[in-house]
Amino acid sequence: MKYFTQIVFFLSMLLITASCKKNYQTISGFTQGTTYQIKFSEDAQINQAETDSILSLVDETFSVYNTNSIITKINENKEVGLNEPFIDLFKLSQRITKTTNNYFNLAVRPLVTYWGFGPEKRTEFDSTAVDSILQFCDFNLFQLQDNKIVKKDPRSQLDVNAIAQGYSVDMVVNYLELMKIENYLVEIGGEVRAKGINAKGQPWQVGIDKPVEGSDESNRELQAIVSVSDFSLATSGSYRKFVEKDGVKYSHTINPNSGYPSHHNLLSVTITAPECGEADAVATAIMAMGMDKGKEFMQENTQYEAYFIFSDEKGNYQTWMTKGFGKYLSE
């Protein structure tokens, strides 16, 4: 009887192991000036053309470099009908702008352009000009009416760079959910959303980059590894893109409340949220806030978890995290 029980147990373990070892596929490519990858279990037939069509829709809707995109026409004060992704992102952005007390603000494009983070580069800056531009970088100057955007000031312009990659992840995820795929990881430019398990039958493993100046996707060091399953992870940092004025480096993250690029010791912020667009936007907002206000925000908004990397007085890397983030860290 004992021998029979052992055989049954052994066969049961084989069945469990076999059920965990599903075949997985990977689709990868380039979008929005960066790379993307989609890993998923073969629960449905999905090809690259289908995912690329979703990412093409993102470009046609949100790219400020696409002269025919919806956002470009809005910025040029041309009448244009809105599609569902634009309306959804706009409403999400309104909510996050309110939650973050305007530290997340889609209307910062004139400031982004002025500080040289757009197509045009510049080396001279004037505080008077910044104050003037700031007056029409108010997201409340944009209203959604009858499937159109109405601007109260023609000088106002939108820039969704702070949320676009995360929102694009959500658009791909919506498609995977429609196809009833149970296990997947979608990553665009480092913004991630995952569900279920990987090919090894474990939660998906995602790295948080060490904020080394000059690093990129091909030359990176990891600060931490996070187990991700059934939530999103997005990171915003100040160490790769910046402008230099009078020997001082300023982050590409614009503080919408001051009009100036962020300048503080907070180097990287990683946020968890159910949806990646929200995580992406909140991470950007906290980079604009800085260390102290960022901590205060996290204490008041416990629906998120956070992992901060900052530099101390000696220039050494230090970390701070919310109480709930530790359970996601892999040793």
Q: What is the mean pLDDT of residues 178-198?
A: 96
* Helix (H) / strand (E) containing 169: helix 161-178
3-state DSSP assignment of residue 244: strand
Task: Give tens-digit pLDDT for 46-61.
Answer: 888 999 999 999 999 9
Q: Which residues contact 136 (CB under 8 A, 6 or more apart)?
A: 107, 110, 153, 155, 156
pLDDT at 230 over 80: yes
Q: Pick the residue with more confidence: 308 or 211?
A: 308
Residue 130 counted as domain residue: yes
Given pLDDT bands bounded at 50, 70 and 90, which one contains residue 4? Answer: very low
Residue 63 counted as domain residue: yes
Shortest CA distance to 79 belongs to which of 141, 138, 152, 147?
Answer: 147
Q: Pick the residue with more confidence: 86 or 17?
A: 86
33-47, 79-93, 212-226, 266-280: the lowest-pLDDT one: 212-226
| pLDDT the model gives residue 5 | 35
Average pLDDT value over all residues in the chain: 88
pLDDT at 11 over 80: no
| pLDDT the model gives residue 252 | 75
3-state DSSP assignment of residue 187: strand
Residue 12 counted as domain residue: no
Contact between 132 and 180 (Cβ < 8 Å): no
**In sequence order, what DSSP letters do the residues of 261-276 get, joined into one string?**
B--SSEEEEEEEESSH
| pLDDT the model gives residue 215 | 53
Q: What is the mean pLDDT of residues 150-167?
A: 97
| pLDDT the model gives residue 263 | 82
In total, how many domains does the chain have? 1
Across the beta sheet with 184-188, the strand order is 24-31, 34-41, 184-188, 191-195, 231-237, 266-273, 305-311, 317-321
Task: Give tens-digit pLDDT for 283-292.
Answer: 999 999 999 9
Q: Pick the residue with more confidence: 122 or 13?
A: 122
Residue 200 counted as domain residue: yes
pTM of the entire structure? 0.88
> Which burial class, exposed, middle or buried, applies to 290 when counting CB atoms under 10 A from its CB (0-12, 13-18, 19+)?
middle
Measured CA to CA, the distance from residue 92 to residue 84 in angstroms comes to 12
pLDDT at 239 over 70: no
pLDDT at 9 over 50: no
Residue 3 counted as domain residue: no
Report phi then psi at 278, rounded to 5.
-65, -45
pLDDT at 165 over 80: yes
Domain with 242, as residue range(s), is: 25-330
pLDDT at 192 over 80: yes
Task: Give tens-digit pLDDT for 54-92.
Answer: 999 999 999 999 999 999 999 999 999 999 999 999 999
pLDDT at 248 over 80: no
pLDDT at 8 over 70: no
Shortest CA distance to 124 belongs to which of 249, 243, 251?
Answer: 243
| pLDDT the model gives residue 19 | 43
Q: Which residues contact 80 (CB under 8 A, 6 or more apart)?
A: 70, 73, 74, 148
Task: Give tens-digit pLDDT for 113-138.
Answer: 998 876 566 666 788 999 999 999 99
Residue 260 counted as domain residue: yes
Residue 219 counted as domain residue: yes
**CATH number reported for the structural domain that contains residue 232 in this entry:** 3.10.520.10
Given pLDDT bands bounded at 50, 70 and 90, which one contains residue 7? Answer: very low
Residue 281 counted as domain residue: yes
